[in-house]
Amino acid sequence: DVKVTQSSRYLVKRTGEKVFLECVQDMDHENMFWYRQDPGLGLRLIYFSYDVKMKEKGDIPEGYSVSREKKERFSLILESASTNQTSMYLCASSLTSGGIYEQYFGPGTRLTVT
Amino acid sequence: AQSVTQPDIHITVSEGASLELRCNYSYGATPYLFWYVQSPGQGLQLLLKYFSGDTLVQGIKGFEAEFKRSQSSFNLRKPSVHWSDAAEYFCAVGPYSGGGADGLTFGKGTHLIIQP
């Protein structure tokens, strides 16, 4: 089974802090994604990566950056956390092979910025 | 731009009754369609997917979905729901441009409540 893990289930940070959310997958997937989930808005794509050191902006990249130095690890960085970044953050990965595109999700990190 | 609409924010169903969750999409090419389920405090789990071929697809936990191109719909069904089916359900379409690296576009979700 594919396993996607996220470094924290719950995180509380102060406004202005730099925040790192880590995601690791164990199935050698090329693609990795970061979403945020908010009530009534569903999931929105922040950034994705299709290879080491490669990244692409999603729908809502403002205020975020990402890093992918190793294939299995994809980090989301909040350079200066703000209260409107309080949300559930979900990481996902997928293998692009033969047209298979389903994404596998981690358990999520609930971030509160005070 | 692609989009997914789940018209029902909440649905309440009695245990043992049948279920249908609606999903309509807008997509410029042949879509890849997915249904995911999210239990409280958990990540998303894939229920089923449609890529091509038979328009009626079977998934896990007794769920099925039917792709109807003429209606741009991909509704999820289950003949008899169990209390453990109470969760949030998301329909998704993708990828953005036909490449596997792009993300999925998700609907806003349908919250399923099961009445005893």
- DSSP type of residue A100: B
Percent of chain B with pLDDT over 70: 94
Residues of A in contact with B32 (CB under 8 A): 101
Q: Strand, coil or helix: what is A41?
A: coil
User: What sign for the dihedral angle of Cα A51, A54, A57, A63?
Assistant: positive
| Regions of chain A with pLDDT less than 70 | 1-2, 97-101
- Higher pLDDT residue, B107 or B42? B107
Cβ distance of A48 and B103 shorter than 8 Å = yes
Residue B76: pLDDT above 50?
A: yes
Torsion of CA A78, A82, A84, A88, to 10 degrees: 40
CB nearest to B100's CB, from A4, A90, A94: A94
Interface touch A100/B106, C-beta < 8 Å: no
Cis bond upstream, residue B95 (ω within 30): yes
User: Does B90 contact chain A (CB < 8 Å)?
Assistant: yes
Q: Give me the pLDDT at residue B64, please.
A: 97
The pLDDT assigned to B113 comes to 97
Q: What is the mean pLDDT of chain A?
A: 92
* pLDDT beyond 50 at B34: yes
Q: How far apart are CA B84 and CA B62, in angstroms?
A: 12
> In this predicted model, which residue has the larger pLDDT, B101 or A89?
A89
pLDDT (0 to 100) of residue A67: 97
CA pair distance A76, B88, nearest whole angstrom: 25
Strand segments (E) across A1-114? 4-6, 10-13, 19-25, 31-38, 42-49, 56-57, 65-70, 73-78, 87-94, 104-105, 109-113
B105 falls in which pLDDT band (50, 70, 90)? confident
pLDDT at A98: 56
Nearest to B88 by CA among B63, B58, B62, B113: B113
- Residue in B65, B62, B64, B71 with CA at minimum distance from that of residue B24: B71
In the prediction, which pLDDT does B54 show?
A: 87
Q: How far apart are CA A37 and CA B55, in angstroms?
A: 30
Residues of A in contact with B105 (CB under 8 A): 45
Is B107 part of the contact surface with chain A (CB cutoff 8 Å)?
Answer: yes
User: Would an 8 Å CB–CB cutoff place B62 in contact with chain A?
Assistant: no
Res B98: pLDDT:
46
Q: What is the pLDDT of residue A93?
A: 92
Return d(Cα B51, Cα B88) in angstroms, integer. Answer: 23
Would the pLDDT of B40 be above 90?
no
CA distance, residue B103 to nearest chain A CA (Å) = 7
Confidence of residue B90 (pLDDT cuts 50, 70, 90): very high
Answer whether B101 sits within 8 Å of A45, measured CB to CB.
no
Q: Tell me, what's the pLDDT at B102?
A: 66
